[in-house]
Chain A
Amino acid sequence: MSAPILSVRDLRTWFYTDQGVAKAVDGVSFEVRLGETLGIVGESGCGKTVTSLSILGLLPQPPARIEEGSSIRFGGEELIGLEANKMRALRGNEISMIFQEPMSSLNPVYSVGNQIAEVLRLHRGMNKKQARAEAIRLLAEVGIPDPDRRVDEYPHQLSGGMRQRVMIAMALSCEPKLLIADEPTTALDVTIQAQILELLADLRGRHGMAVLLITHDLGVVAEVCDRVVVMYAGQVVETGTVYEIFADPKHPYTRGLLDSLPSIDNPGQRLTSIPGTVPTPTHWPAGCRFQERCAQAGDGCEVAQDLVALDGADRSARCWRSRP
């Protein structure tokens, strides 16, 4: 197995607010390798977006702060504390990110071609003409018909799916080694979702990059991910390959997530849901953070749970009941 291109160790990103310290990411570790897609799954508020923003250093440092002892290594280089211009050189270049809302994530007053070309001229030193030609090529590559015309159009003239393709084109323009996709299909129709996911898989295959896919939708995970990290309340609660997770979930939360998926085999059946809501990051409960909502809560839950390694490469769960 090749060395991971991204290695996150004990990442703690805390927010210092008037209401107290919000420990949004509280000791998260994972790895991603080239050629693989790692999915980070969890409900909103579990810290997955903050994790992804921490990698690229896109969080405003007050009020956010990446705590001592955290480590994010990319290609062997430590990203935390990296000089600003070195960081900038990586962004959009070696590490790219696409976001959830393609309409608001694109600047409405500039043409899409302009916004793609911008990255090309910045990181690959192209001139205007070259960048425009390359932008057209990229648009074609992400499956946008009639790219010569589209390149001069504005975001509001494109549909949701096409905008996301533009975002992808922009992100891939400099052949990044790592693509972070934060809920890339959540805002799109189901049919378009499928197309985008297919595109992502296809591009990953062709360019051989690592993909970090953040989502709350297990269906998406099943489609494209190789490995999964399940997060809850700022912590990783389970890791494993996608098969392992789906076939044999070890953590009650993961089980709850799977159970709440509607199944085509049982139409008309009532959907199960996980009772309760995610606790607030300023006040994580003591002991197991999932305790209040867990159907299998018991005496061992009073203590804070450790992430325990299980059988299989990279297989772990944070529940005393999962121990062999």
Chain B
Amino acid sequence: MTKYILWRLAGSVPLVLGIATIIFFLVNLAPGDPTLLLLSPGMNQEVVEQMRANFGLDQPVYIRYVKWLGAMLTGDFGYSFSHSRPVLEVIKGVLPNTLILSAFALVIAFVTGIVLGTIQAVRQYSLMDSTMSVVLLFFYSMPSFWLALMLILSLSLYARNVWDWPIWFPASGMTGVDHEFLSFAGRIQDRVMHLVLPTLSLSLVLTAGIARYMRASMLEVVRQDFVRTAHAKGLPERVVVFKHALRNALIPIITLVGLYIPVLFSGTVFIEMIFAWPGMGRTLFDAIFQRDYPVVMAGTFFFALMVVTANLVADVLYAVVDPRIRYE
């Protein structure tokens, strides 16, 4: 098992480097450069050239690539044009925020999706099954950013101003303005309140997809012979479903972990913009438009790293859940 993990890890290194190289060339060969965005009236060409030199953009692309690669391997990701800080500092500041959001969304999506899908499968053809299918299809079809805006309008604006609910959620940010003045418990609560809407926006769409897959998977598993054997042994329904059927039904769902992580990350860009969440997605997005090359490359590199890791985790999970894979 350890050998398997190490082998996969080793295989990921050239993969990630390859991705980073492609990104480098794509970004650097795109039209426009950071100086254009800083252009102002009266700036003549010398000033622009000076700026370019200041950013190190006067050298040819392949030299820049080699320099960048060398620096990256030592952990130096360069300096951000738009943030005026070392790139690593920038990323260290925003990456955890995205990870928190993604992790919560992922966990909630999977847990809820699995539970809902199982209930649906066990109660197939019932009214609950049909209603849930419709509701889930609705959320599955919704773009996450639209959902986000609807949630803001309903659970933040309307809840507070129109419907007078006792609880309403803040529409943006990771923390409140007076966060540092709150007690420890107060700070936790502040964080949670700010997490609710963005996490919901991200996870609702995922939950719907996972529930559908889970339902299908469960239905298939429930028809298998060993489920009949379990019944024939006199096991109660609960045990048959949650011990025998569930674990087998989870196997294809694990594939989704690997598939959904990139989806999650790309979705977070929208969510971070809408909720003013200071995360990686937004930083990367802004960096692209500002042609802040060092940030774009470092950001993409880290995303690639995370996707590769997620897939590795999925592979390990397979082996954990399905013994047939373990001993291959």
CB <8 Å contact, B226 and A122: no
Q: Which B residues contact A (CB, under 8 angstroms)? A: 224-226, 228-236, 244, 247-248, 321-324, 327
Q: Which residues of B contact A110 (CB under 8 A)?
A: 244, 247
CB <8 Å contact, B323 and A105: no
A207 in the interface, Cβ–Cβ < 8 Å? no
Q: Which residues of B contact A320 (CB under 8 A)?
A: none
CB <8 Å contact, A56 and B232: yes
CB <8 Å contact, B232 and A101: no
Complex Cα distance A97/B225, Å? 12
CB <8 Å contact, A157 and B232: no
Partner of B244 from the list A92, A101, A107, A122 (CB cut-off 8 Å) is A107
A74 in the interface, Cβ–Cβ < 8 Å? no
Complex Cα distance A154/B232, Å? 20
Partner of B225 from the list A104, A119, A170 (CB cut-off 8 Å) is A104
Min Cβ gap A57→B in Å is 9
Partner of B233 from the list A101, A118, A156, A157 (CB cut-off 8 Å) is A118
CB <8 Å contact, B233 and A154: no
Q: How large is the interface on A (under 10, 10 to 19, 20 to 34, 35 or more residues)?
A: 20 to 34
A278 in the interface, Cβ–Cβ < 8 Å? no
Partner of B229 from the list A93, A99, A122, A157 (CB cut-off 8 Å) is A99
Q: Which residues of B contact A9 (CB under 8 A)?
A: none
Stretch at the interface among A83-91, A136-144, A288-296: A83-91
Instruction: Known A56-B232, A107-B244; judge A154-B323 contact (CB<8 A).
Output: yes
CB <8 Å contact, A92 and B232: yes
Which residues of A, 54-95, contact B by the 8 Å Cβ criterion? 56, 58, 88-93
Q: Which residues of B contact A107 (CB under 8 A)?
A: 226, 229-230, 244, 248
Q: Which A residues contact B (CB, under 8 angstroms)? A: 56, 58, 88-93, 96-97, 99, 101, 104-111, 118-119, 122-123, 154, 156-157, 167, 170
CB <8 Å contact, A91 and B323: no
Complex Cα distance A154/B248, Å? 14
CB <8 Å contact, B229 and A119: no
15 contacts between A and B (CB under 8 A): A88-B235, A91-B231, A104-B224, A104-B226, A105-B225, A109-B247, A110-B247, A119-B233, A119-B234, A122-B233, A122-B234, A123-B234, A154-B323, A154-B324, A170-B233
Q: Which residues of A contact B229 (CB under 8 A)?
A: 99, 105-107, 167
CB <8 Å contact, B226 and A108: yes
Q: Which residues of B contact A156 (CB under 8 A)?
A: 323-324
Complex Cα distance A97/B226, Å? 12
CB <8 Å contact, A88 and B234: yes
Min Cβ gap A156→B in Å is 5
Min Cβ gap A115→B in Å is 8
Complex Cα distance A99/B225, Å? 9
Q: Which residues of B contact A154 (CB under 8 A)?
A: 323-324, 327
Q: Which residues of B contact A92 (CB under 8 A)?
A: 232-235
CB <8 Å contact, A108 and B324: yes
B322 and chain A: residue at smallest CB distance: A109
A57 and chain B: residue at smallest CB distance: B231
Min Cβ gap B173→A in Å is 44
Min Cβ gap B320→A in Å is 10
CB <8 Å contact, A105 and B228: yes
Complex Cα distance A225/B316, Å? 50
Complex Cα distance A107/B248, Å? 8
CB <8 Å contact, A58 and B232: yes
Q: Which residues of B contact A119 (CB under 8 A)?
A: 233-234
A56 and chain B: residue at smallest CB distance: B232
Q: Which residues of B contact A96 (CB under 8 A)?
A: 232-233
Q: A91-B233, A109-B321 are in contact. List 10 more A-B contacts (CB 8 A).
A: A88-B235, A99-B225, A99-B228, A105-B225, A108-B226, A108-B323, A119-B234, A154-B323, A154-B324, A156-B323
CB <8 Å contact, B232 and A91: yes
Min Cβ gap B252→A in Å is 13
Min Cβ gap B242→A in Å is 13
CB <8 Å contact, B327 and A157: yes
A106 and chain B: residue at smallest CB distance: B226
Min Cβ gap B311→A in Å is 22
A111 and chain B: residue at smallest CB distance: B323
Q: Which residues of B contact A97 (CB under 8 A)?
A: 232
Q: Which residues of A contact B224 (CB under 8 A)?
A: 104
CB <8 Å contact, B232 and A93: no
Complex Cα distance A320/B232, Å? 39
Q: Which residues of A contact B230 (CB under 8 A)?
A: 107
Pick from A89, A92, A107 the residue with the most CB of B within 10 Å.
A107
Instruction: Known A58-B232, A88-B234, A122-B235; judge A109-B225 contact (CB<8 A).
Output: no
Instruction: Known A99-B229, A108-B322, A109-B321; judge A89-B234 contact (CB<8 A).
Output: yes
CB <8 Å contact, A109 and B235: no
Q: Which residues of A contact B233 (CB under 8 A)?
A: 91-92, 96, 118-119, 122, 170
Complex Cα distance A89/B229, Å? 15
The 3 closest A-B pairs by CB, nearest first: A91-B234, A92-B233, A92-B234
Q: Which residues of B contact A111 (CB under 8 A)?
A: 323
Min Cβ gap B179→A in Å is 46
Min Cβ gap B218→A in Å is 14
B327 and chain A: residue at smallest CB distance: A157
A167 and chain B: residue at smallest CB distance: B229
B231 and chain A: residue at smallest CB distance: A58
CB <8 Å contact, A109 and B248: yes
A170 and chain B: residue at smallest CB distance: B233
CB <8 Å contact, B234 and A108: no
Q: Which residues of A contact B248 (CB under 8 A)?
A: 107-109
Min Cβ gap B19→A in Å is 35
CB <8 Å contact, A109 and B323: yes
Complex Cα distance A108/B232, Å? 17
Complex Cα distance A109/B226, Å? 11
Complex Cα distance A58/B230, Å? 11
